[in-house]
Amino acid sequence: MPGRCWLWCRRENVSVLWIGPVRTPSVAGELYACGQCIAELVHLVREEQRRRSLPPERICEHRELERRAGGTFCAGCQRPIHL
């Protein structure tokens, strides 16, 4: 259906799709956007999901060392440490 895109492009009279209800502290309504902006939104949502599903990159400083048969290992990441 033709209407106004509520997202980034703000175009009027484009074919838009209903995305869902919007709710802010002061107003509630229905959100519509064009295909291009929906694609952008989907991209953002996927990116965010990917970011959340990945554990934050942990940089090990190998602070604590462990001596075991065969060598020295980091107590944190278990990597062998060559001194």
Chain positions contacting Zn ion, by CB under 5 A: 5, 7, 9, 34, 37, 60, 62, 74, 76-77
Report the residue number, 3 or 76, with the smaller CB distance to Zn ion.
Answer: 76
Report the residue number, 46 or 79, with the smaller CB distance to Zn ion.
Answer: 79
- Least separation in angstroms between residue 7's CB and Zn ion is 5
One DSSP character per residue, 16-77 reads EEEEEEEE-SS-EEEEEEEHHHHHHHHHHHHHHHHHHHSPPP------SEEEETTEEEETTT
- Least separation in angstroms between residue 34's CB and Zn ion is 4
